[in-house]
Chains A and B, each alone.
Chain A
Amino acid sequence: MLEVMNVAAGYPGPRGAVLANLNLTLRPGAFICVIGRNGAGKSTLLRTISGLQKPLGGRVCLHNVNIHEMTAQLRAQRISVVTTERVSSPGLRVRDVINLGRQPYTNWRGHLSGTDYEVIADAMRTVDVLKFANQPFDSLSDGERQRVMIARALAQDTDVMVLDEITAFLDLPGRVEVMSLLRTHAHTMGKIVLLSSHDLELSLELADRLWIVDEGKVKAGIAEDGVILQAIANAFDTKNVRFEPAIRQFRLRDQPLEAL
């Protein structure tokens, strides 16, 4: 179980806390989507929960151990990360990238054992990237690269996987595919998968729980929850667009409901 206790997340100095008084619990086997407007603090939240950034206050505990007090190596055995950052690394093949996911477990020179190779092969099969295992990573499309980075995170074999805006470069079928793959992974393997996304409708459809990040706070709940739907409406409504909780879709303000 991953627990966020009284966490203030943000940056030291004048920028200060972006989010404060966070108390959240993540249970094994849960696929959780984090949604919110640009700049609301989704990335800050995910970086803090994944241990890449220290909280300004409070603690993040996995199985009752503070993740920010773990060694980098131990934390990497517990939490894996996929970001939206476009990685370019000439000279790395797809399998090299995925092999790197085993680094938290390998010795000083990164020697891969038979077990490591099995985990890697499983990860590649799960995400269906075996067919371009020997291709240069840089020759792949955005969607394929993202799948490889997910395979690398799967090879890391962690209890928690944190993915920040990874579907941004994908087309709709690609997004559905990646998100349902991660959801299946959470459900079948009993892992915690935390994913931030701009895709509100898909998130509502697929997530076990939703976190709405808005105005320095995080509201957690299920998609059927009226409070959550209202929170989404509050977070996303603009002058011209509003979220309609009843149909779980956005519509233009001057467009009558019956027209849909």
Chain B
Amino acid sequence: MNSTILASNHFASLQRMVVTVFLLMLVAVIVFSLSYGQVILGGERLLAAVLDPSGDPVASQIVRDIRLPRVLTGLIAGAALGISGVLMQALFRNPMADAWSLGLLAGGQLGVSLIVTAAAFAGPAALAFLTAFQGIGLTSGAILGVAVFAVLMAGLSRRVSNITLLVVGLMLGFTVQGLVSIVMHFASRVGGRVYSGWNDGTFASTEISDVAVMLLPIGLGLVLAIVSAKGLSAMLLGETYARSMGTDVKRLRWLTLSAVVLLVAPVTAYCGPVTFIGLIVPHFARAMVRTSQILPLLPIAALCGALLALSADAIVHLPWEQHFLHLNAILALVGAPVVIAILLASPSLRGRI
């Protein structure tokens, strides 16, 4: 009895410690990202830019208009992808599942590109409308695309093995990349800003008003994620046990998929396909709090995702000689070896290859 309570206290204190450390690291990366770049701002200029915009208009413009939206976007996108990874891996009972690896991000890309193309063909009025309501239009396109692909993959997951599903998801990703690139070729003149840097993930193409549009669906997705956490914990023992312990599995499946769609679609719409974060963050989070129960994992995965996204983005935007680096290149350098290590260490996956 006492040892039980003691253990749960120990667990809570471990979690608090991890959260504190993550928050500190996150603050450090945020400050670093706001001050370093092509123009390097010292602490004083950074403070002045934030607190007193009129005092140093150049610094203020750099920080407020360029770096702050980018940092906020990375923060939100990273957290959303991290949480969606936890949800996907629990729902699909597949340690390699995530919105990118199962092709959901590709679905979102396809949705956005189809909306833009349709608008382009419908004529300048439709395009003007889309430009005016760009955020909402693109986000709905992405939501539609991600939702369709999510339902398809969820249906398929009940018929094929984990590895097959993964390969199908990655192939869907390649197919959509090809399609989008062709669509871009024909629609790039009209699509304009919509496609800037779109085959690569980036947090840099948002304005501060876009961040607000992103937050709404992601906030809703977060609520659904929290609601489905208890049922997903039961699903760790498999569907039969989950049902026998009172989980309405059908409802849970819809709830979780909706959460994933709402979390991931805005990220796709504004940042393009951001790879690896949703895939590896849940593994870091589980290792750090030493549990795979879903609810305590969610805040850790959010923090860990935000930290990874911002760190990668900070590297991308270091004052390099010429261009910026590619976000997905950095993420692949970190992510791919981690995935290989997980594959080789996981008995269930290794056995099936």
Residues of A that sit less than 8 Å from B by CB: 50-52, 71-77, 79-81, 83, 85, 87-93, 95-97, 100-101, 103-104, 106, 108-110, 112, 117-118, 120-121, 133-134, 156
Contact = CB atoms under 8 A, between A and B. Distances in A.
B333 interface: no
A118 to B, nearest CB: 7
Contact of B4 (A71, A91, A121): A121
Interface string B236-280: 111011011111100000000000000000000000000000000
Interface of B: 1, 3-5, 7-8, 95, 226-227, 229-230, 233-234, 236-238, 240-241, 243-248, 286, 290-293, 295, 346-348
A133 B2 CA distance: 13
Given A79-B244, A106-B230, 15 more contacts: A50-B244, A72-B243, A75-B246, A80-B244, A90-B95, A90-B292, A92-B236, A92-B291, A92-B292, A92-B293, A96-B292, A103-B230, A108-B230, A110-B230, A133-B7
Given A92-B292, A96-B293, A76 B230 contact: no
A103 B245 CA distance: 6
8 contacts: A76-B244, A76-B246, A80-B245, A92-B292, A97-B237, A100-B241, A103-B234, A134-B7
Nearest to B250: A72
Contacts, number: 93
A184 B267 CA distance: 56
A83 B1 contact: no
A52 B1 CA distance: 33
A156 B1 contact: no
B301 to A, nearest CB: 13
A109 B229 CA distance: 7
B3 A117 contact: no
Contact of B240 (A52, A95, A104, A121): A52
Contact of A117 (B5, B244, B346, B348): B5
A83 B233 CA distance: 18
Contact of B234 (A51, A88, A100, A117): A100
A256 B229 CA distance: 63
Which residue among B8, B237, B244, B347 has the maximum number of chain A CB atoms within 10 Å of its CB? B244
Given A109-B230, A110-B230, A110-B295, A117 B246 contact: no
A104 B245 contact: yes
B236 A89 contact: yes
Contacts of B3: 133
B223 to A, nearest CB: 12
B246 A72 contact: yes
Contacts of A92: 236, 291-293
Contacts of B348: 88
A103 B246 contact: yes
Contacts of A76: 244-246
Contacts of B286: 91
B93 to A, nearest CB: 9
A112 B226 CA distance: 17
B242 to A, nearest CB: 9
